[in-house]
A and B are shown apart, each in its own frame.
Chain A
Amino acid sequence: MSLAATRVRYVLKRLIQSIPVVVAILVINFFLLHMAEGDAADVLAGEAGSATPEYMEQLRQKFGLDKPLPVQLAIYLKNVLSFDLGYSFRHDMPVIDLVMDRFVPTLLLMVSTILIAVGLGIVLGLIAASGLNTWRDNLISVFALITYATPLFWIGLMMIVVFSLKLGWFPTSGMENVAAFYEGWDRVKDIAHHLVMPTVTLSLFYLALYTRLMRASMLEQAGMDYVITARAKGLTERRIVFVHILRNALLPVVTMAGVQVGALIGGSVIVESVFAWPGLGMLAYEALFARDLNLLLGIFLLCALLVVAINLVVDVIYSFLDPRIEVG
């Protein structure tokens, strides 16, 4: 079989493998959320100040909360298959609309963060490792160590103090200046202006992570026998680093990039709550405290699909980078 056909088969196989994962996640989340004390009816009744048992019963009936658990789960699974993620009691809107509405800001934040963190991290790690123990290595390592050690919310708060309150360069919160009614390029520029601080905050931590990992990985590979062989047969140092070591050293970084996507969504909860960025992370945070089960499940499903898809891509890239990994 040709290499391309093997590749396609591998991708298909991985796609099919991920279906049970998504179903398992749905089931886990459903039961986990049901373990929590109090349901949406309690919350709504609590907000109204007082509620008769009859009214509570009525609310539960309206949302299907009075049915047995397996029935609720079956209904939920059936609905998800028809792209119906249920109804958010709190926002009085279909969950799919709410989630899609908040998905774009989070995606914007994540893509800009990944580009900066992975790209710059690989470059910085490479520079640090190729000049081992020089001032460049030390400077990059000190920078990486300090940013890695700083909590995201604290960087965010300090950046607000310095760049928003003292210097007035960037807005403290939100995604755009709604009152200004910008259109076209002005709106793009306005959003980009608001995006700077959340992106820098979120990417600093991951930048440090990838820099450290890349440096450690480069050094690990530099001690391998194949490097000595390459040097012995007279290859230039530049060729050894960029062709031989770099390709092997990228493996752990690629693995980590896939692993970190789930964590990145988590990190955006913190960053979004500090900067009031109207994304999925902030929605999840609001939903948890409102005990809005359907909404939380919708967010989890979307994030889960995203991570499964990205892991698939990472596995395919991995198999290209390291032929020793059996594709079969």
Chain B
Amino acid sequence: MEFWRLYRRNRSAVFGLIILLVVFVLASSAAIFFPDDPFSLAGKPMSAPGENGFLLGSDTLGRDVASGIAHGARTSLMIGGLATAVAVLLGVMFGGLAGYFGGWIDDVLMRVTEIFQTIPSFIFAILIVAIIKPSINSIIIAIAVVSWPAVARLVRGEFISLRNREFVQACHIVGMGDVRIMLREILPNCLSPIIVAGSLMVATAILIESGLSFLGLGDPNIISWGFQIGAGRTVLRSAWWVCTFPGIAILLTVLAINLVGEGLNDALNPRLRDHR
């Protein structure tokens, strides 16, 4: 396991992987430890952490904060992962084709990218979710639609600066096809910025989701961390725990994903490896 040996050398990445695994376990075991609906009224409202059998307290309506965090983990991971997968796929396709071919293909694709980019993304996401009606699907669509242009710009920039290099010209001379040059020669050379951008993007997706549900645009049937913070905002002064713990959950999850992303970068980037 050459890859694991390299990954393991980055201690914080291993630390991140452990946190992420804990979040995964929390998400998958939520139904076992907290079998009740996280929206249900579990006891006395506004209980402080440790009081009335609430580990992390309860909110204004007596909902269990800990239960909400456990069930919310599933929401965040699922939305973050799916939205990023869609966005990266779109971005690499658009950016790669535009950067490699240039000319009118570049013009058309970049006009489309520019249009999507020009619309302020978070307001656009709010708009998409509000129009399709708040649900898991509309949130994933909204996040993917606003996220892919960043990848496309990045990939296009890399492709443009690589396409005139000697090694690519050599490929042309030996008669290699365009698709092969793009996928086998140029793409591997710009994987590390894509991986860095991708790891940042899963984090961003989770943050956008929490922002949307903070503003009340989450799926009304599924608990999420942003919703919990939005609901606790009005009682910030008297019940700090309602806002604080879900925020820490977001922080730790996003942090873990970023650390894992960085570890992947270290393990996959041969140039950085030689440098050390």
Contact = CB atoms under 8 A, between A and B. Distances in A.
Chain A interface helix/strand/loop/mixed: helix
B160 interface: yes
A255 B252 CA distance: 29
Interface string A303-315: 1100110010000
B236 A152 contact: no
Contacts of B193: 216-217, 220, 252
Contact of A251 (B157, B211, B275): B157
Contacts of B226: 151, 153
A145 B255 contact: yes
A263 B203 contact: no
A325 B99 CA distance: 11
Contacts of A70: none
Contacts of B254: 148-150
Interface in B147-176: 149-150, 153-154, 157, 160-161, 164
Contacts of B200: 148, 209, 212
Contact of A25 (B118, B255, B271): B118
Interface string A149-177: 11111100110110001000000000000
B161 A149 contact: no
A266 interface: yes
Interface class of chain B by DSSP: helix
A262 B196 contact: no
B115 A322 contact: no
A300 interface: yes
Nearest to A273: B215
B125 interface: yes
Given A145-B258, A216-B265, A150 B250 contact: yes
B275 A263 contact: no
Interface string B227-259: 001000100110010011001001111110011
A25 B115 contact: yes
Interface stretch (A29-37, A58-66, A95-103, A231-239): A29-37
A21 B154 contact: no
B178 interface: no
Contact of A300 (B119, B157, B237, B272): B119
A24 B113 CA distance: 12
Nearest to B230: A153
A146 B255 contact: yes
A219 B119 contact: no
Contact of A36 (B131, B244, B247, B275): B131
Interface string A16-33: 011011101100110011
A269 B126 contact: yes
A256 B153 CA distance: 8
Contacts of B203: 148-149
B212 to A, nearest CB: 10
Contacts of A258: 153
Contacts of A29: 119
Contacts of A324: 160-161, 164
Given A154-B250, A255-B154, A304 B127 contact: no
A151 B211 contact: yes
Contacts of A25: 115, 118-119
A288 interface: yes
B211 A153 contact: yes
B120 interface: yes
A223 B153 contact: no
B224 to A, nearest CB: 12
Contact of B247 (A20, A158, A216, A263): A158
A308 B131 contact: no
A223 B271 contact: yes
A71 to B, nearest CB: 22
Contacts of A216: 192-193, 196, 265
A208 to B, nearest CB: 9
A265 B120 contact: yes
Closest 9 CB pairs of A and B: A266-B122, A223-B271, A149-B254, A154-B247, A265-B120, A149-B255, A307-B118, A304-B118, A303-B120
8 contacts: A22-B118, A149-B258, A161-B236, A220-B193, A258-B153, A259-B149, A288-B126, A300-B123
Given A149-B254, A288-B126, A303-B123, 10 more contacts: A21-B115, A33-B127, A145-B255, A152-B207, A216-B192, A223-B274, A223-B275, A265-B123, A288-B130, A299-B123
